A and B are shown apart, each in its own frame.
Chain A
């Protein structure tokens, strides 16, 4: 199996009781070393993001914005522009989720480059968690925006096509979290394995090119996850106006 990172070793040595009680809440059996690499790395990513945003909050100023604030304004404008492209003027209400999922997946993908850390998105459980959260989120937003007539959108444009449209719509909705999971997982997993394979085959500078490609692909996949989330929310909200 995967060797433990130094952080995971720290958690397993000192916090094993906490890990086992958390496992006990969901009914899983206890383990002598309950913390897995990807769980600890997700905590590291969340704490890092919370620290960065807390620092930003402390330094916010309307009169003299520093470089840090301007960088985050760029990120906000980018996400807002994409949301308006996909959803229209209502996109602003859902910015919290879009920004969170974008920054979380981007940081998860990039933290694998740092030595002694590992991308949690290399594990299918993490990407499945993000995809399921998106799935539940856009369905809840659809119900919130349209009431229970959201289910009527599955019937398609005309009523007499409904017996054919409903299974097709259900299958396509089920395929969405599956494709989100596998897209992100396969890109991150394959990127690391290809770099490792070339490291074993040839001189040292060659895998660096593949690692650069992996960074680029990680950023693009985070952006694609966010854009697909917006498209699904847009599709769920669209039938009212």
Chain B
């Protein structure tokens, strides 16, 4: 399993040097990577945001189950927490909108 992973990684690195030879003399040689890095960046940001929001909602729901009287306050705190976590993923989307022309 680790050997296969290392093999795939080495092949990707070799592919990097091959692909970067496609724009000779271009001063904007990094521009071809913008769509791919935008997609990977957004995927990582959204995935981590999903994990964090899942944790937040899980503890909120468990708190509401243990103490139904405090459900309103817990729900309010959960919504505020979700909004803050969501905003972090949105910072990545903002950079993508600014950089992808």
Contact = CB atoms under 8 A, between A and B. Distances in A.
Contacts of B86: 187, 217
A182 B91 contact: yes
Contacts of A227: 80
A219 to B, nearest CB: 10
Contacts of B97: 189-190, 193
Interface in A175-212: 182-183, 185-187, 189-190, 193
Contacts of A183: 87
Contacts of B80: 220, 223-224, 227
A224 B84 contact: yes
Given A182-B94, A193-B97, A187 B87 contact: yes
**Chain B: number of interface residues, binned into ranges:** 10 to 19
A109 interface: no
A182 B97 CA distance: 14
B6 interface: no
A224 B86 CA distance: 13
Most buried by B among A183, A190, A221: A190
Contact of A189 (B79, B83, B84, B94): B94
B86 to A, nearest CB: 8
Nearest to B84: A224
B93 interface: yes
A186 B83 contact: no
A186 B79 contact: no
A186 B83 CA distance: 12
Most chain B C-beta atoms within 10 Å of own C-beta, residue among A183, A186, A187, A220 = A186
Q: Is chain A's binding surface mostly helix, strand, loop or mixed?
A: helix
A186 B93 contact: yes
A220 B79 contact: yes
Contact of A190 (B79, B83, B84, B90): B90
A221 B83 contact: yes
B39 to A, nearest CB: 14
A221 B84 CA distance: 9
Contacts of B79: 220
B84 A187 contact: no
Contact of B83 (A182, A185, A193, A217): A217
Residue among B83, B90, B94 with max Cβ neighbours from chain A (10 Å): B90
Interface of A: 182-183, 185-187, 189-190, 193, 217, 220-221, 223-224, 227
Those 9 A-B pairs whose CB atoms lie nearest each other, nearest first: A186-B90, A186-B94, A183-B87, A220-B83, A190-B93, A190-B90, A224-B83, A186-B91, A187-B90
23 contacts: A182-B91, A182-B94, A183-B87, A185-B94, A186-B87, A186-B90, A186-B93, A186-B94, A187-B86, A187-B87, A187-B90, A189-B94, A190-B90, A190-B93, A190-B94, A190-B97, A193-B97, A220-B80, A221-B83, A223-B80, A224-B83, A224-B84, A227-B80
